[in-house]
Amino acid sequence: EFKPLVFSGVQPTGNLHLGNYLGAIRKFVALQANNDCIYCVVDMHALTAQLVHEDMPGQIRSITAAFLAAGIDPEKHIVFNQSAVPQHAELAWIFNCVARIGWMNRMTQFKDKAGKDREQASLGLYAYPSLMAADILVYRATHVPVGDDQKQHLELTRDIAMKFNMDYMEHIRRAGYGIDITVGDEPVHAYFPMVEPLIDGPAPRVMSLRDGTKKMSKSDASDLSRINLLDDEENISKKIRKAKTDPDGLPSEIAGLAGRPEADNLVGIYAALADKSKADVLAAFGGQQFSVFKPALVDLAVHVLSPITGEMRRLMADPGHIDTVLRDGSARARARAEVTMKQVRDIIGF
């Protein structure tokens, strides 16, 4: 079997928010205890929607600072930025040739991000999931902690791995690089593993505070829609007080959240921050009004986030230190990625 290896990435575009924290970064931290982990600031992905960025180095440092402030250990694990390891782009080209256009056409994130005028979207935005597959598989990673919005991209990663394994099966066998795995009940001689998404917890998709049907996102025009990791107590309090709700109070049972996306979202956020289930939260607050629940949520959010915010600010005041962490992490990532790429080139015949 493949040795368990965790990989995930976050784009250096705009403010990190509570969705990034609960959907991704908090899981990154927890997984360190029992796994070898590689965490990446995916700066090449940041070009897919927008070519010119005001302060790319600052954005990269800010995500790195969030990783470190949340508790990622860059010495035991690897923290680096994608563009410093060109093997990602090299494998992505090969995957562009493995992936089928029909597969890419099914990607809902592309449809959302491209908007109405799809002819004007970049080829990079279209190929984004192929680069994401390369990010993961260039380390032959097996587990990927992400938010629920990335589920479809991970299915595509498995499809790409499977097609590569099948198409090059004889070459993989001849070179002696493969291992025997089972996929479903089928035995497969594989070079790339079938990645497992790690998408769980009470808030796998944190929704906007202004519209319970949209995910909380860096790209939402309204700052009131999200809690940023750099927001102070006053901002957090304002945003939660103004968060959209319906006129009813909190139900005592999960079933009472059905058809109430805003209420469901706030209960999910509370549960995730408190490390409890939604049922536990409703057992405590069922029957109460939002005028009681919201202040409790503000206190909890401030309690969890303010130490991270403080540490992020402290780290960002010393850019030299962050750059050293990234340089060291990139060198270690490059060495590991090159082991895979030497074998992949050999399998292909380059």
Question: By CB under 6 A, is residue 212 in contact with ligand ADP?
Answer: no
Strands of the chain, DSSP E: 5-10, 36-41, 78-81, 143-145, 179-183, 186-190, 196-198
**154 is a site residue for ligand ADP (CB under 6 A):** no
User: Helix, strand, or coil here: 17?
Assistant: strand
Select from 53, 205, 244, 260 the one that contacts ligand ADP (CB under 6 A): 205
In whole angstroms, what is the distance from residue 268 CA to residue 139 CA?
Answer: 33
The reply on whether position 220 binds ligand ADP by CB under 6 A is: no
Question: Which range of residues in 28-36, 50-58, 67-75, 142-150 is near ligand ADP by CB under 6 A?
Answer: 142-150
In three-state secondary structure terms, 62 is helix
Told to check if 147 binds ligand ADP by CB under 6 A, we report: yes
Q: Are 221 and 254 in contact (CB under 8 A)?
A: no
Residue 251 as a binder of ligand ADP (CB under 6 A): the answer is no
Question: Among 48, 59, 150, 157, which residue sits at the site for ligand ADP (rule: CB under 6 A)?
Answer: 150
The span from the CA of 224 to the CA of 149, in Å, is 21
Give the Cα separation of 200 and 260 in Å (integer).
21
Q: How far is CA 275 from the centre of its chain?
A: 19
Smallest gap from residue 280 Cβ to ligand ADP (A): 20
Q: Which is nearer to ligand ADP, 146 or 344 (CB)?
A: 146
Of residues 78 and 229, the one with the C-beta less far from ligand ADP: 229
Judged by CB, which is closer to ligand ADP: 229, or 315? Answer: 229
Site membership for ligand ADP, residue 23 (CB under 6 A): yes
Instruction: Considering the candidates 3, 116, 214, 218, report the single residue annotated as catalytic.
Output: 218
Encoding tokens for residue 336?
A: 């590991």
Q: How far is the CB of 40 from ligand ADP (least distance, A)?
A: 11
Extract the runs of DSSP E, i.e. beta strands, from 66-125: 78-81
Nearer residue to ligand ADP within complex by CB, 72 or 341: 72
Please provide the size of the chain in residues: 350
Q: In this complex, which beta carbon is closest to ligand ADP, that of residue 107 or of residue 206? A: 206
Query: Using only C-alpha atoms, what is the Rg of the chain?
Result: 21
The one catalytic residue among 27, 215, 278, 294: 215
Q: Does 216 bind ligand ADP (CB under 6 A)?
A: yes
Active site residue 215: yes
Sheet holding 196-198, edge to edge: 78-81, 36-41, 5-10, 143-145, 196-198
* Region near ligand ADP per CB under 6 A, out of 79-87, 178-186, 214-222, 319-327: 214-222
Out of 189, 218, 276, 334, the only residue in the binding site for ligand ADP (CB under 6 A) is 218
What is the closest distance, in whole angstroms, from the C-beta atom of residue 247 to ligand ADP in the complex? 25
Any bridge partners for residue 124, and if so which? none
One-letter amino acid of 302: V
76 an active-site residue?
no
CB 245 within 8 A of CB 290: yes
DSSP state of 208: P
The size of the interface with ligand ADP (CB under 6 A), counted in residues, is 16
Binding site for ligand ADP (CB under 6 A): 10-11, 19-20, 23-24, 146-147, 149-150, 205-206, 215-218
Residues with catalytic roles: 113, 215, 218
